[in-house]
């Protein structure tokens, strides 16, 4: 077969240079633009840690809308075939794991904030947040082909889940509402399941609560977050060798004093365990229509029971925590361990373990050994569920010890409590 | 105009007047379009695509006919549970169901066959005899493949809409954010989604066209394109590889659902379009480089 050479090999090379150049330019753009955008930390006047904290607590941002990226990597042991249940189960013990499955069977899909927000405990999520004063907030969790919205407008609290086409409604009692509104920033109500609870502001507030003598607070340079200049506040536990927390880093808007980014890094591993950051923020007034909600046609509407509405506790899996007692009051804030009486003697033994898994006892035992470790101490025997941030010990007597402390610290605290 | 270019003169200077050039390009595109859409194979592919929403619609109707409901939001293609409430959602369900595999597969077949099929059948050199030039021939081929992307998506959407409107109630459309909009705006959003889905396939079309210029066997090009699609889908499903996921052309495919939010969430949609444009630029120019420099021996 005679090969006809259409062009000299040099011109051919030039031709092939075009796609290579296009790919190269694209790669350079992808690689350089974010690097250029984030490089050059803004030059801001020096500020002391105290001034920055004061600025942050005084911050009063009424109107705000933005996009928040939340990524959580607690290093939870993943259960086969049920990541949602796994995250609840890992943290809340046997309370959490069954929740989802039971709810699915019931007639009306459960879209109350508690069961939904447990999902945020693992993985990466994009949230849209809007606020207009303490009375109006809206947060939407953007799922790949669905959305979960939580809308707070005056005394009305609505939740809507698009995948199930179901809504949940609750009325916030008057008293509670007035108390919350006073002197609060845009994050609004401090209680569990209001839209504000998912923002960097709220996370920062929780972290600042722990600030006392056992904590070192420093300002560590500046950063650019969501296109805004920010100071970096670093909070580190002091003299708490048992704490699993390495540091908490908060990027505070230099102008508004609003926390824009919250990063919690555990001692184990370099990746942050919790990171919440605005990727876009706008201090303009959001469209009032954003806070209006009428349940769409055909949607199942669940009315919250009055007692549920007054104090919407966040994840239902953590409901048991209400009866929690701190067992080592003497310890610093960072090494506190809570004890919860689950009222379920037998703990995570084979019988209890088999229930959620549905497998035979032997299989359940194997599974159990996979993500828990048996420990012995003055409290008897128990099993420790470890994550990068939180460790939990469930004794055979049905006591659950939970704390952001190392396994050794947890066992020590449990021993003290048992004595 | 009678001066015929030789197969070797892809970009050789020739000087027909501008309008004549435009007419030539248009004519070339028209003939490519006719070649593509008159094939039985193309019509069969479109028929398969049309059958998907009809089957899904009938299945949902039968299952919910006795008053039952489609179980929860989990399992099955997205939006399936909303179909009974509003027939328009069948459009979104059908697109979400066909987008991972059916739709791109048909595009892979058409794009893979575009050049290699002609070469295999021995008709490519006759095409090159026409004074259109290789670049314009390639552009015409690419445009025809893009037209097929749009036609394939429109087929799914239109049949889904017809089935949905026949079997289920229509009316106010509930967006993902819980707000209701009129049926007219819902239709508008559905059209925008169909266009977005069609544009999502541009990257694969360019990739298929490039593969098509590499070989003289149409079947090999089709198989390679579809195989690549499957590989990318598998890579996209492996969580350990999440570092490379944003660069896979399938990564933002489901972002079309963001058009159903209120307000529309543009971030991923724009990333998708940018990524598709990038794939089109890289593999389009690669196809151009390969096709222009290639020896046409059959």
Q: Which residues of B touch A17 (CB under 8 A)?
A: 289
- B2 pLDDT higher than 80: no
Same domain for A157 and A275?
yes
Q: Burial, A324: exposed, middle or buried (Cβ in 10 Å; 0-12, 13-18, 19+)? A: middle
Distance from C-alpha of A140 to C-alpha of A159, rounded to nearest angstrom: 9
Contacts 24+ apart (CB under 8 A), A308-311: A308/A112, A308/A170, A309/A157, A309/A170, A309/A171, A309/A172, A309/A173, A310/A172, A310/A173, A310/A176, A311/A176, A311/A191, A311/A192
Q: Which of B74, B289, B297 sits opposite A18 (nearest CB)?
A: B289
Q: Picking from A25-29, A353-357, B123-127, which range would have the lowest pLDDT averaged per residue? A: A353-357
Q: pLDDT tens digits, residue range A162-176?
A: 888 888 888 877 654
pLDDT at res. B19: 63
Interface test with A, best of B7, B97, B171, B177 (most A CBs within 10 A): B177
Per the structure, the count of domains in chain B is 1
Flag if B74 and A163 touch (Cβ within 8 Å): yes
Q: By percentage, how much of chain A surpasses pLDDT 90?
A: 0
In a domain, A401, yes or no: yes
Question: Dihedral, CA atoms, B112, B116, B121, B123, nearest 10 degrees?
Answer: 120
pLDDT at res. B201: 96
Same domain for A339 and A284?
no
Same domain for A285 and A206?
yes
Q: Does B171 touch chain A (CB under 8 A)?
A: yes
Q: Which residues of A touch B174 (CB under 8 A)?
A: 162, 165, 296-299
pLDDT at res. B274: 92
Q: By percentage, how much of chain B surpasses pLDDT 70?
A: 88
In a domain, B8, yes or no: no
CB crowding B125-141: b at 16 or more within 10 Å, else e? eebbeebbbbebbbbbb
In a domain, A118, yes or no: yes
CB contact residues (below 8 A), chain B span 66-95, against chain A: 72-74, 78-79, 81-82, 85-86
Name the residue with higher pLDDT: A94 or A271: A271
Distance from C-alpha of A217 to C-alpha of B24, rounded to nearest angstrom: 73
Average pLDDT over residues B100-116: 93
Flag if A146 and B96 touch (Cβ within 8 Å): no
- SS3 string, chain B, reads CCCCCCCCCCCCCCCCCHHHHHHHHHHHHHHHHHHHHCCHHHHHHHHHHHHHHHHHHHHHHHHHCCCCCCCCCCCCCCCHHHCCCCCCHHHHHHHHHHCCCHHHHHHHHHHHHHHHHHHHHCCHHHHHHCCCCHHHHHHHHHHHHHHHHHHHHHHHHHHHHHHHHHHCCCCCEECCCCCEECHHHHHHHHHHHHHHHHHHCHHHHHHHHHHHHHCCCHHHHHHHHHHHHHHHHHHHHCHHHCCCHHHCCCCCHHHHHHHHCCCCCHHHHHHHHHHHHHHHHHHHHHHHHHHHCCCCCC
Same domain for A281 and A404?
no
Q: Picking from A415-419, B12-16, B67-71, B181-185, which range would have the lowest pLDDT averaged per residue? A: B12-16
- The last residue of one of the domains, among A313, A332, A366, is A313
Distance from C-alpha of B262 to C-alpha of B266, rounded to nearest angstrom: 11
Same domain for A193 and A216?
yes
Name the residue with higher pLDDT: B214 or A299: B214
- A86 pLDDT higher than 60: no
In a domain, B298, yes or no: no
pLDDT at res. A291: 87
Interface A-B: count of C-beta contacts within 8 A? 117
Same domain for A224 and A350?
no
Name the residue with higher pLDDT: A242 or B278: B278
CB contact residues (below 8 A), chain B span 28-67, against chain A: none
Most confident of A27-41, A88-102, A221-235, B276-290: B276-290
Q: pLDDT tens digits, residue range A125-153?
A: 898 888 888 888 888 888 888 888 888 88
Averaged pLDDT score across all residues of chain A: 71
Q: Is A198 helix (H, G, I), strand (E, B) or coil?
A: helix
Among A312, A282, A295, A277, which Cα is nearest to A132's? Answer: A282
Averaged pLDDT score across all residues of chain B: 86
- A222 pLDDT higher than 70: yes
In a domain, A28, yes or no: no
Average pLDDT over residues B230-242: 90
Same domain for A204 and A299?
yes
Q: Which residues of B touch A1 (CB under 8 A)?
A: 297
- The last residue of one of the domains, among A313, A332, A362, is A313
In a domain, B7, yes or no: no
In a domain, B202, yes or no: yes
User: Domain with A184 in it: what CATH number?
Assistant: 2.50.20.10
Q: Which residues of A touch B72 (CB under 8 A)?
A: 104, 109, 163-164
Q: Which residues of B touch A162 (CB under 8 A)?
A: 82, 174-178
Q: Which residues of B touch A4 (CB under 8 A)?
A: 7-8, 295-297
In a domain, A41, yes or no: no
Q: Picking from A116-125, A139-148, A192-201, A206-215, which range would have the lowest pLDDT averaged per residue? A: A192-201
- Cis peptide bond prior to B263, omega within 30° of 0: yes
- Token pair for A170: 């609750």
- Token pair for B42: 């193309």
Q: Which residues of A touch B267 (CB under 8 A)?
A: 67
- B28 pLDDT higher than 60: yes
In a domain, A213, yes or no: yes
Average pLDDT over residues B65-87: 69
Q: Burial, A92: exposed, middle or buried (Cβ in 10 Å; 0-12, 13-18, 19+)? A: buried
Distance from C-alpha of A224 to C-alpha of B290, rounded to nearest angstrom: 44
pLDDT at res. A404: 81
Flag if B174 and A12 touch (Cβ within 8 Å): no
In a domain, B169, yes or no: yes
Q: Which domain holds residue A333?
A: 324-418
Average pLDDT over residues A386-405: 80
Same domain for A142 and A208?
yes
- The last residue of one of the domains, among A248, A279, A313, is A313
Same domain for A339 and A361?
yes
Name the residue with higher pLDDT: B6 or B136: B136
Distance from C-alpha of B122 to C-alpha of A61, rounded to nearest angstrom: 71
Q: Which domain holds residue B28?
A: 18-292
pLDDT at res. A95: 36
In a domain, B11, yes or no: no
Question: Dihedral, CA atoms, B259, B265, B267, B271, nearest 10 degrees?
Answer: -10
Residues 6 or more apart whose CB falls under 8 angstroms from that of A382 comprise A347, A374, A375, A376, A393, A394, A395, A396, A399, A414
Same domain for A341 and A262?
no
Question: How far B291 CA lies from chain A's nearest CA (Å)?
Answer: 10
Q: Burial, B71: exposed, middle or buried (Cβ in 10 Å; 0-12, 13-18, 19+)? A: middle
Per the structure, the count of domains in chain A is 2
Quick one: which H or E segment has residue A197?
A: none
């Amino acid at each position: 077969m005679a090969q006809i050479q259409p062009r000299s090999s040099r011109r051919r090379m030039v031709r092939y240079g075009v796609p290579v150049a296009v790919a190269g330019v694209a790669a350079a753009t992808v690689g350089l633009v974010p690097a250029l955008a984030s490089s050059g930390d803004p030059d801001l006047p020096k500020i002391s840690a105290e001034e920055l904290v004061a600025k942050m607590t005084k911050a009063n941002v009424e109107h705000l809308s933005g996009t928040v990226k939340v990524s959580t990597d607690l290093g939870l042991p993943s259960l086969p075939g049920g990541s949602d249940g796994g995250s609840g189960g890992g943290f809340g013990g046997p309370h959490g794991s069954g929740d989802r499955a039971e709810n699915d069977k019931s007639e009306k899909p459960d879209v109350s904030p508690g069961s939904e927000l447990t999902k945020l405990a693992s993985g990466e999520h994009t949230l849209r947040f809007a606020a207009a004063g303490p009375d109006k907030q809206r947060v939407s969790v953007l799922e790949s082909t669905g959305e979960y919205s939580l809308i707070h407008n005056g005394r009305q609290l609505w939740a809507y889940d698009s995948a199930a086409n179901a809504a949940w409604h609750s009325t916030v009692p008057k008293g509670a509402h007035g108390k919350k509104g006073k002197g609060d920033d845009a994050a609004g109500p401090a209680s569990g399941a209001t839209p504000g609870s998912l923002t960097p502001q709220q996370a920062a507030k929780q972290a600042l609560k722990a600030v006392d003598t056992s904590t070192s607070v420093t300002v560590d340079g500046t950063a650019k977050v969501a296109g805004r200049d920010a100071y970096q506040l670093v909070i580190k536990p002091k003299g708490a060798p048992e704490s699993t927390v390495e540091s908490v880093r908060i990027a505070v808007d230099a102008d508004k004093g609003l926390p824009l980014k919250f990063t919690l890094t555990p001692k184990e591993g370099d990746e942050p365990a919790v990171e919440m950051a605005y990727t876009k923020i706008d201090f303009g007034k959001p469209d009032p229509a954003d806070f209006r909600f009428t349940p769409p046609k055909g949607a199942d509407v669940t009315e919250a029971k009055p007692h549920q509405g007054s104090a919407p506790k966040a994840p239902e899996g953590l409901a048991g925590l209400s009866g929690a007692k701190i067992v080592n009051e003497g310890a610093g804030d960072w090494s506190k361990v809570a004890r919860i009486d689950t009222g379920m003697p037998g703990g995570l033994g084979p019988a209890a373990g088999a229930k959620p898994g549905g497998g035979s006892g032997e299989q359940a035992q194997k599974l159990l050994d996979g993500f828990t470790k048996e420990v012995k101490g003055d409290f008897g025997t128990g099993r420790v569920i470890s994550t990068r941030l939180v460790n939990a010990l469930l004794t055979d007597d049905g006591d659950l010890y939970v704390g952001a402390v190392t396994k050794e610290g947890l066992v020590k605290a449990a021993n003290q409590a048992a004595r | 105009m009678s001066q015929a270019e030789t197969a070797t003169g892809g970009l050789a200077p020739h000087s027909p007047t501008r309008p004549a050039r435009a007419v030539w390009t248009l004519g070339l595109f028209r003939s490519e379009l006719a070649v593509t859409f008159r094939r039985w194979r193309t019509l069969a592919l479109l028929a398969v695509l049309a059958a998907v929403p009809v089957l899904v619609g009938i299945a949902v109707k039968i299952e919910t006919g006795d008053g039952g409901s489609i179980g929860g939001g989990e399992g099955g293609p997205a939006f399936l549970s909303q179909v009974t409430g509003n027939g328009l959602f069948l459009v979104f369900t059908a697109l979400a169901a066909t987008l991972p595999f059916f739709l791109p597969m048909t595009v892979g077949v058409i794009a893979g066959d575009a050049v290699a099929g002609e070469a295999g059948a021995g008709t490519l050199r006759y095409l090159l005899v026409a004074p259109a030039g290789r670049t314009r021939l390639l552009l015409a081929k690419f445009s025809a493949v893009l037209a097929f992307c749009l036609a394939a998506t429109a087929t799914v959407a239109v049949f889904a809409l017809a089935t949905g409107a026949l079997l289920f109630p229509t009316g106010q459309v509930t967006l993902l954010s819980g707000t209701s909009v009129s049926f007219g705006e819902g239709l508008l959003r559905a059209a925008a989604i169909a266009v977005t889905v069609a544009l999502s396939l541009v990257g694969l079309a360019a990739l298929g066209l490039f593969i098509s210029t590499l070989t003289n066997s149409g079947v090999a090009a089709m198989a390679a394109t579809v195989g690549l699609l499957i590989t990318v889908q598998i890579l996209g499903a492996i969580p350990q590889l999440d570092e490379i996921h944003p660069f896979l052309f399938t990564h933002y495919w489901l972002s079309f659902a963001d058009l159903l939010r209120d307000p529309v969430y543009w971030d991923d949609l724009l990333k998708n379009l940018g990524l598709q444009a990038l794939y089109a630029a890289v593999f389009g120019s690669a196809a151009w480089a390969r096709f222009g420099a290639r020896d046409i021996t059959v």
